[in-house]
């Protein structure tokens, strides 16, 4: 779904499809929200990304991010789950065209066809620019994300 990895010009006349995958991650700091960018995430494993997330989050909270640390994002992930938020609608960071919101996980009963069993559920929400992405593509994208997150093996392959 290449349109999720694109940017829209300020006058909305030019859509640029990115040839790289750089993901911004919103970080709450004492000085407000900042969005450092992870470069070339498609070339890194989950362990490397986890280490990089911890390091850049600390750098952000310490107020030591550079301009380069916050440039070049294609898509942003914002997590308010740590604050106890159960649902929210994140706002797209222009010129990006989409953002994923992650809320607090909780155990919930899920019917498996025979009985209710406990399952960890994580509410996610997707906001996107309808000039670039329509609702059907948004639904397909969120389904893909949900399927990937429901089976951890898909993330480590």
How far apart (Å, rounded) are the C-alpha atoms in residues 124 and 126? 7
Burial (Cβ within 10 Å: 0-12, 13-18, ≥19) of residue 97: buried
Assess whether 74 carries a catalytic annotation.
Answer: yes
Active-site entry in 40, 62, 87, 134: 134
Q: What does residue 68 show for φ and ψ, rounded to 5 degrees?
A: -65, -30
Give which of 29, 7, 34, 31 is closest to 20, Cα–Cα.
7
Assess whether 87 carries a catalytic annotation.
Answer: no
Active-site entry in 74, 87, 137, 151: 74
Q: How far is CA 83 from CA 52, 78, 80, in A?
A: 22, 12, 5
Task: Name residue, tokens 């593509």.
Answer: 137
Q: What angle do CA 125, 11, 18 make, to 5 degrees?
A: 55
| Contacts of 132 by beta carbon, 8 Å cutoff, 6+ apart | 3, 6, 8, 15, 97
Active-site entry in 40, 129, 130, 137: 130
Catalytic positions, written as ranges = 74, 130, 134
């Amino acid at each position: 779904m290449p349109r999720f990895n694109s940017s829209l010009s300020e006058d909305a006349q030019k859509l640029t499809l990115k040839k790289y995958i750089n993901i911004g991650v919103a970080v709450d700091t004492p000085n407000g929200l900042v969005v450092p960018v992870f470069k070339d995430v498609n070339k890194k494993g989950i362990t490397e990304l986890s280490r990089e997330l911890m390091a850049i989050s600390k750098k952000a909270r310490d107020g030591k991010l550079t301009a380069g640390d916050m440039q070049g994002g294609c898509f942003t992930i914002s997590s308010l789950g740590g604050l106890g938020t159960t649902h929210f609608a994140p706002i797209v960071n222009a010129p990006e065209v989409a953002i994923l919101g992650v809320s607090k996980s909780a155990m919930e009963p899920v019917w498996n066809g025979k009985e209710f069993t406990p399952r960890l559920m994580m509410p996610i929400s997707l906001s996107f620019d309808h000039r670039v992405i329509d609702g059907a593509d948004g639904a397909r994208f969120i389904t893909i994300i949900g399927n990937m997150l429901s089976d951890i093996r898909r993330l480590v392959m």
